[in-house]
Structure 1
Amino acid sequence: MPKRTGFTLLEVLLVIVLIGILASVVVLNFAGDTAEEQVDKEAVRFQQVFQFIAESAQLRQQEWGLVVTENSYAFVYFNDNTWQWVQEPVAARAYTLPDGLSLQLELDGLPGAEQNLLSQLDWQQDEETTFAATKTEEKPPLPQVFILSSGEISPFRLNFNAIADLKAVQMQVGTDFSIPLTRYTADEN
């Protein structure tokens, strides 16, 4: 009787099932983050960059600020009697959130807002400027949040928002006067 070579039907089906399982694992890994994961990732990024900027302000004895729009944020610093866009470190440059995420800055109604000395200062610039941080020659607007060289930070809450499956996802990052920033989920607010 001649010896048969090749694969049995069972062996071929087993290989097809294994390839299918591996393919589904790869697709699930590259499918992207959920809205909750994206919001959390962006809040962590902001928290780390803000922490670095606040520590740099103290070390350099320099005043810094935060400028926020609906879908982006940037840091500025005070030099030669004007606010200037941050160029270094790269993480502190203007950052635009991925599509589907938005920001909302809360300044009023926080503890100590009425006694905050920064709110009593008359910060004025010669001309109004919109937040278009893509042009570094452009004069930045006044920051909404001040990060002082003394370690004091004007109180704020920054909400990172997303909508997924008709459900709002929110993460809040903020401080009352100093670092470290505190993160809150929507359940804790």
Structure 2
Amino acid sequence: MMAAAAQYQHPVRVRGFTLLEVMIVLLLMGLAASYVVFNAVGTEPADELEEQVRRIQVVTDMASDYAVMNQKQMGIRFEPDEGVYYFVFLNEENEWQRLEENDIYAERQLPEPFYFTLNLDDLPWEQDSLMADREIFDEDFALGDAQTDIGNEEDKRLPPPQVLIMPSGDITPFLLTFHYEPGFGSDLPVYYQLKNEDLPPLELDGPLEQVPQ
């Protein structure tokens, strides 16, 4: 009787993983493996900087897919003076809000002694249509420092992102340059450049001995 009962049990439904979930797991596994290897053999500053750059590259490409799948207007806010960047999206009130659905898009800070610079102007590959979109968003949603500092901490609006990620997956053109410039010792300066022309994947150049003019 027990065998017969077991035979007629309802099958258990197994929920599959989405492509985004699989990509996130693979990314985290890769970063964890790299962390173990680097700590086992000793991390060179150039290798550590490359790891930081590749993380931004992969997560930005994933954010483009996320924007398409969820039809969200998204963006990346960079704070070069603090070495900080984070992902945002435009909510129903047309206000920029941090993307907190997944820790992978949370705020990150580039560790010292590294720093980055952001260039949005005079890019040789910039697309007029995408740059026009960026200007529209700057005009409609940009807030000066004086405006963002008014009111209580909870009432402050986030500044607009410098880089937009469209619901179509397009990303406005930008050029990020990452710097390692040791002042003393035998280490030589190292640079990496991460750039986007239109559609991801982002293009990574480096290691470079000097910043291209």
What is the one-letter code of the residue matched to 1:51?
Answer: D
Q: What whole-Å deviation, never above 9, does each CA across 1:69-99 have from its counterpart, x for those lacking one? A: 1211111101111100111210111101112
Asked whether the 8 Å contact 2:88–2:98 carries over to 1, the reply is: yes
Structure 2 residue 169 is matched with structure 1 residue 156: no
Between Structure 1 and Structure 2, the one with more helix by share is 2
Asked whether the 8 Å contact 1:65–1:77 carries over to 2, the reply is: yes
Asked whether the 8 Å contact 1:69–1:103 carries over to 2, the reply is: no
Q: Which residue of 1 aligns with 2:96?
A: 83
Q: Which residue of 2 aligns with 1:123?
A: 140
Q: Which residue of 2 aligns with 1:93?
A: 106
**Structure 2 CA distance for aligned equivalents of residues 107 and 47 of structure 1:** 17
Between Structure 1 and Structure 2, the one with more strand by share is 1
Unaligned runs of 5+ in 2: 1-37
Alpha-carbon RMSD: 2.5
Q: 1:103 aligns with which of 116, 119, 130?
A: 116
When Rg is computed on C-alpha atoms for both structures, the one with the higher figure is 1
Structure 1 position 105, deviation (Å):
0.7
**Structure 2 CA distance for aligned equivalents of residues 150 and 30 of structure 1:** 42
Structure 1 position 64, deviation (Å):
0.5
SS in structure 1 at match of 2:77 = strand
Rate the CA distance shift 1:172–1:50 in 2: closer, same or farther, 3 A: same
What is the one-letter code of the residue matched to 1:105?
Answer: L
Unaligned runs of 5+ in 1: 1-27
**Structure 2 CA distance for aligned equivalents of residues 125 and 32 of structure 1:** 44
Structure 1 position 55, deviation (Å):
0.5
Percentage of identical aligned residues:
25
Q: Which residue of 1 aligns with 2:196?
A: 175
TM-score (norm 2): 0.66
User: 1:18-167 alignment to 2 at 5 Å?
Assistant: 32-70=42-80, 71-80=83-92, 81-110=94-123, 111-112=125-126, 114-115=128-129, 116-121=131-136, 122-125=139-142, 128=145, 129=148, 138-164=156-182, 165=185, 167=188
